[in-house]
Structure 1
Amino acid sequence: MAPEFLTMTHEIMSKLSPSEYLAQLKAQQKVDPSPALASVMAELDSLDMSDLSAPAPEEKPAAPQNTPAPVSATRPTAKGEAASQPAGSSAAAGSHHPANSPLPGNAPTPNRKPAAARNDSYLAELFDRVSNLLGEDGDKKTAYVPKAPATLDEAGLAEDDLERLILKFLLSKGASSGRKICQQVRLPFGLIDPLLKQWKYEQLLDLRNSAEIGDYVYAITDLGRERAKRYAEECTYFGAAPVQLRDYLYAMERQSIAKQMVRETDLKRAFSDLLIAPEMLDKLGPAINSGRGMFLFGEPGNGKTSIAERVTSCFGSTIWIPRALGIDGDIIRLFDPGVHEEVETERGEGIFDLTGLDQRWVQIKRPTVIAGGELTMSELEVTQNLQTHICESPLQLKSNCGTLVIDDFGRQTMPVDELLNRWIVPLEKRYDFLNMPSGKKIQVPFDQLIIFSTNLEPKDLVDGAFLRRIPYKIEVLDPSREHFVKLFEIMAPKFGMTFEREAVEYLIETHYTAVERPFRACQPRDLLLQVRNFCVYKEQEKVMTPEAFDFAVDNYFSVM
């Protein structure tokens, strides 16, 4: 391991004892079993950490004139620290860091406190230390972790916002325990419990019976029901409490695709299930690292869509996105199970949520959003359901920090010029403006790799000004003869067949070379499917034969 690794380890151990650090790192390894973290664990297990058992001495500011010097060099407790702090000192007042913001790199190391005192800031600081330890080549999943808010102000919510959500939930449910209400709005019990008691005092809720320790079952009253109905007329949403735009912008900046550098090994891993020429990988790699956009063009059936679908997996990491955004009273649903793949993580429940995570956020694989010929202009704008008044986010917002694929570009129902005019500025500036139903215009990141996949020549579709903003134009060529034969060899076992080179050579000479028919990457799969169906119909063994290929070609190319 490099010497700088050991130096960094000593710096980290000055803030945590070795046992604390190893315990936390092992816990993180269960959540994140990445090769980089496994390597770090193996290295730590082999180190002699006896010299790190005590924290490094800290520089202490000179004591004020009337303040007695400490009588012991032992580490103070959290209670002792508060008691011994000089009145009016900046340390006593503390400095507030907004939720999810990292600690400054040159900030003095705080005195060690019990985990309960350190609370959520301790968890985020630990993640930052592990990220620093792994360096640039480490897994990026721990680069950003949303911390559970300690106050409503940190959550960016007002009591009125939660009143609307919870009363509408109870209007639908009738009655629920405080724990289940917390699960519904995805907020800590400590924030919700005082509000429930306040609303009981205001006669919006009533107690049915006790539930878990310190919890009760709450039912909505007639007064609460009337108020909930008024709220439902404005918007029917009562899911996870929304995240504020400022927190979303910060998260996107921390997880930006522009910060993800793809290496050749990453590309080979992502395309391991495709037979693709090394020259094509060498073209794709720099285009992906640009984080801006590319054209994939070429004849149909050569794998442009398959290539586009695998690009995102090159980054090999996950991101956190909010389930919903709240912008001046409007609720925008961002998490979409149809395009986002959730990553299972340890999630706490109700009163006993000890994960330190903000449950309003969901961890997903970097998204790949594909829009084909059905793409319309409305899918690129915030749309509001007129019955529920819930807003849906546009495709470019759902694909932030991932990949947006415009498949069959040029064949959309909307004119190409209309799409280009909509995106020409975002492609250049890397941000977009969205119009809200309230009339407000908001600025959001336009932070995804955009891939335009088309069977047409890009220069015949768009003008030079737009082509300039898409720096990479990559042609997906027809496979070579050797490549074509190899595809049959790869696909044969998937159809329960044994590869027969003589039959494939017969197919090529008779039905390709003789008639000057070009190879297409999709044809081995399609022809073998025809051969399998022919053999099943004839009740024959599934074998590649000239007869079977003659039948398949006659069906497949009859109008081509």
Structure 2
Amino acid sequence: MNTPAETLDMASSDESHSDPSSNNLEALLDRINRLASGEEAVEAQPEQRAVTEQSQVAPERPRPIVVPPVHNFEDAGRERKEWCPPEPKTLAQAGISEGQLEHLAIKCLGACGDCSGHELAEHHTVPFRLIEPVLATLKQAQLVAYRGSAPMNDYVYQLTEMGREQAKKLTEYCSYFGAAPVPLEHYIESVAEQTLTKVHPTRGDLERAFSDLLVNQNMLRRLGPAVNSGRGLFLFGFPGNGKTSIAERVTKAFGDTVWIPRAIGIDGEVMRVFDPALHEEIPLEMAAGPLHAREIDKRWVRIRRPTIVVGGELTMDALEVSPGTGNNVSEAPLQLKSNCGTLVIDDFGRQRMTTDVLLNRWIVPLEKRYDFLRLVNGKKIQVPFDQLIIFSTNLEPKDLVDDAFLRRIPYKIEVPDPSEEEFRQLFKIMAPILGMEYNQDSVDYLIATHYHPINRPFRCCQPRDLLLQIRNYCNYLDTMPTMCREYFDYAVENYFAVM
């Protein structure tokens, strides 16, 4: 007995050998699914819609799906919707040709050995109904053969001798055989739908984003307009006052998640975009039932809105398309991976390249909000430049760059030292986090003995660092971590030894 999901897959198989009743069933299930998701209220009869679909030579792309956000960012009745890539119904809607899918399947079988049709569909992240006729074509061309049967009216495929020769030739040209790439045009459209310029964070959004940091209202008042501009800003001030922490939390004010493609296809070359080292995948909670199991294009990944932080290790190579490990496979640069998010240049001015070289690379993108990249094969493409660039530095901005560039970064925000009251509040916050009971007398002693007499400035990082010194010392003594005068003297002696 077939399950409902198996029945749906069987009804979605090659149109060349499906009967009229199966076409009607597919159309009816598709209509139920669309009505259940609220995408449309009234639609043509199934028979009429089937005739219309067959008469279309180049079907339009499916309309984007809008789902409720994970967190409801709202202010005075305002609510944000999340854009989702809809599952393609045809290869034309997916933006890939039958030949491209054939090449991917052949290379995958050549590398992985025997695979069923559903396994290939899962590997290339395309619906089974799209890859099934492609496999039938490869079978007729004697490039693949049946090794056996598989569940859900499927077969296990293997390459023939002719297919192995073809796989070798295709791999020499392009070794990629992962998820089917998304066309560059579709990626550009997705960035336009999820652009930061459409999101205008309010004071409530920033307060939620900075809820785990001690940030005064004056700082939020200055950050708010800068974040809304979406163009970039300088954060400068003494080290240890939380510039990097502030920059990392700015992204939360724009919302939680965005969708990015696993890879982009550009004239035969594949550029990887999804990077597990920089992107955190946030799977979408799908509704129960087989009718809702395949609504989203699986070539895309739902990630936490990216915040990419780079420091003194940044080089110019990281800002250009870099060759991958295979033929005609490349890696997207940092600014493209951070689209619809935040790119933080930490310790600005301490990179191995000069600040002029780095800033000249971004003068046009910051002004025009698009960038030009040169692919490994020499082709130059235009891509969106849609992220908030934050330059975090301990140096004065005017000492690093000229007026022409400072004009393109309209917001320069100093992160000042905390007041004594804020300094004490940081001890109250950090003590329970590090497993200690807050002791007011010990903090009074610390400030009166080690700060006021020598005019030592307060820094936001010092309460955490000093309490960590105490905890580590107590762990060595095998005692309960405690805030006391003796332990503070020990921590100060170590922490400020050369400062």
**TM interval, short-chain normalised:** 0.7 to 0.9
Give the structure-2-normalised TM-score: 0.86
2:218 to 279, 284, 289: 279
Q: 2:328–2:377: 8 Å Cα contact kept in structure 1? A: no
Residue 392 of structure 2 aligns to a residue whose secondary structure is strand
- Which residue of the partner structure matches residue 138 of structure 1? 79
**Deviation digits for residues 271-317 of structure 1, max 9, x if unmatched?**
11111111101111111110000000000000000001111111223
- Which residue of the partner structure matches residue 174 of structure 2? 235
Alignment pair present for 1:99 and 2:38: no
Task: Return the letter of the residue paired with 1:533.
Answer: N
Alignment pair present for 1:519 and 2:481: no
Task: Return the letter of the residue paired with 2:80.
Answer: D
Check 1:546–1:80 CA distance in 2 against 1; reply closer, same or farther (3 A cut): closer
Greater Rg over alpha carbons, structure: 1
Shift of the alpha carbon at 1:521?
0.2
**Deviation digits for residues 43-79 of structure 1, max 9, x if unmatched?**
xxxxxxxxxxxx8xx9xxxxxxxxxxxxxxxx97333
1:77 to 37, 40, 45: 45
1:459 to 398, 404, 414: 398
Shift of the alpha carbon at 1:347?
6.7
Q: 1:347–1:359: 8 Å Cα contact kept in structure 2? A: no
Alignment pair present for 1:362 and 2:301: yes
1:279, 1:79 → 2: CA distance? Answer: 63
Check 1:212–1:325 CA distance in 2 against 1; reply closer, same or farther (3 A cut): same
2:276, 2:235 → 1: CA distance? Answer: 27
Q: 1:436–1:442: 8 Å Cα contact kept in structure 2? A: yes
**Deviation digits for residues 162-206 of structure 1, max 9, x if unmatched?**
122111111111100000000011111111101101101111101
2:140, 2:200 → 1: CA distance? Answer: 55
2:204, 2:148 → 1: CA distance? Answer: 59
CA RMSD of aligned residues (A): 2.9
Shift of the alpha carbon at 1:533?
2.0
- Which residue of the partner structure matches residue 36 of structure 1? none
Q: How does 1:425-440 map to 2 (within 5 A)?
A: 425-440=364-379
Q: 2:234–2:413: 8 Å Cα contact kept in structure 1? A: yes
- Which residue of the partner structure matches residue 557 of structure 1? 496
- Which residue of the partner structure matches residue 415 of structure 2? 476
Q: 2:117–2:128: 8 Å Cα contact kept in structure 1? A: yes
1:93, 1:278 → 2: CA distance? Answer: 61
Shift of the alpha carbon at 1:386?
5.8
Shift of the alpha carbon at 1:81?
7.6
**Deviation digits for residues 124-182 of structure 1, max 9, x if unmatched?**
4899xxx9xx99822321xx221222222222212221122111111111100000000
Task: Return the letter of the residue paired with 2:149.
Answer: S
Q: How does 1:184-203 map to 2 (within 5 A)?
A: 184-203=123-142
- Which residue of the partner structure matches residue 246 of structure 1? 185
Give the structure-1-normalised TM-score: 0.77
Check 1:248–1:369 CA distance in 2 against 1; reply closer, same or farther (3 A cut): same
1:512, 1:347 → 2: CA distance? Answer: 56
Query: Which structure 2 segments of 5+ residues have no match?
Result: 1-31
Query: Which structure 1 segments of 5+ residues have no match?
Result: 1-18, 29-54, 59-74, 86-90, 103-123
- Which residue of the partner structure matches residue 404 of structure 1? 343
Q: How does 1:213-362 map to 2 (within 5 A)?
A: 213-346=152-285, 354-362=293-301
Q: 1:403–1:448: 8 Å Cα contact kept in structure 2? A: yes
Check 1:93–1:533 CA distance in 2 against 1; reply closer, same or farther (3 A cut): closer
- Which residue of the partner structure matches residue 447 of structure 1? 386
Q: 2:59–2:92: 8 Å Cα contact kept in structure 1? A: no
Task: Return the letter of the residue paired with 1:495.
Answer: L
- Which residue of the partner structure matches residue 179 of structure 1? 118
Task: Return the letter of the residue paired with 1:138.
Answer: E
Q: 1:269–1:314: 8 Å Cα contact kept in structure 2? A: yes
2:66, 2:430 → 1: CA distance? Answer: 49
Shift of the alpha carbon at 1:542?
2.0
**Count of residue pairs brought into register by the alignment:** 461
Of all paired residues, the percent bearing the same amino acid is 55
Alignment pair present for 1:207 and 2:169: no
Q: 1:188–1:353: 8 Å Cα contact kept in structure 2? A: no
Q: 2:451–2:457: 8 Å Cα contact kept in structure 1? A: yes
